[in-house]
A and B are shown apart, each in its own frame.
Chain A
């Protein structure tokens, strides 16, 4: 299988559409014949990331690279940055508004879920400049 690259621009002002990119990646992975367990891991990790971008960072970009050995997801935004990454990684810690909670998110599980469902995750964040999260899921 040659390398496949997918790119998406995520709108920050439409919560209803949040998850469209993740859904598209999911269906493409299925077509490529990636195993269902891996498809689910990638989909959930990416979906949480996409939701985070919409609720915290006014959108951003998602780039997914599928190689023979791994799936790499790079989520980049120009949002406010994460003040305390260690705290943000704790399950249950959230800075989301009540409004976001009413929509079913903001339980403080976004980043922990992303870490849980990816095999490797790194966060590069600068206050006032933005955040780039890179996640990898290995295929072998």
Chain B
């Protein structure tokens, strides 16, 4: 699956980083708790979250995730978008809620990956 596939499956819109749309992704994680993301991830390229603050971008940076999907119609601030651009992170927004967003990606073959 590519970032472009995620965008199509989730009816998402690009906020930044559309140039990375052909980049392959193999696993994802979804949480509003950044500490949980930091505790259990390994090689998750996509982070789905309903949390919307700069620490989401930093968490993605620390775990080497290169695509963030903001769910439930959350919109990142200009500051967050700038941070993402500096770090080469693609941001997508979708109106889906967490359960549906994760379910749609899972049913299309994306998995949660191996925990650290």
Contacts and interface: CB of A to CB of B under 8 A. Distances in A.
A104 B39 contact: no
- Looking at B39, B51, B79, which has the most chain A CB atoms within 10 Å of its CB? B39
Interface stretch (B1-9, B11-19, B57-65, B95-103): B57-65
A113 B55 contact: no
A44 B51 contact: no
A107 interface: yes
A103 B63 CA distance: 18
Contacts of B79: 16
B34 interface: yes
A105 B35 contact: yes
Interface in B6-63: 32-36, 38-39, 49, 51, 53-56, 58-59, 61-63
Chain B: interface secondary structure?
A: helix
Interface stretch (A1-9, A17-25, A65-73, A120-128): A17-25
B53 A47 contact: no
Given A19-B55, A19-B58, A22-B62, A48 B38 contact: yes
A91 B38 CA distance: 13
Contact of B58 (A23, A91, A112): A23
Contacts of B59: 47, 104
What bracket does the count of chain A residues touching chain B fall in? 20 to 34
Contacts of A23: 58, 61-62
Contacts of A48: 35, 38
Contacts of B62: 19, 22-23, 26, 40, 43-44, 47
A91 B36 CA distance: 10
B56 A104 contact: yes
Contacts of B49: 104
A22 B63 CA distance: 12
Interface of A: 15-16, 18-19, 22-23, 26, 36, 40, 43-44, 47-48, 51, 91, 103-110, 112-113, 116-117
11 contacts: A16-B53, A16-B79, A26-B62, A40-B63, A44-B63, A103-B51, A104-B33, A104-B51, A107-B33, A108-B35, A112-B39
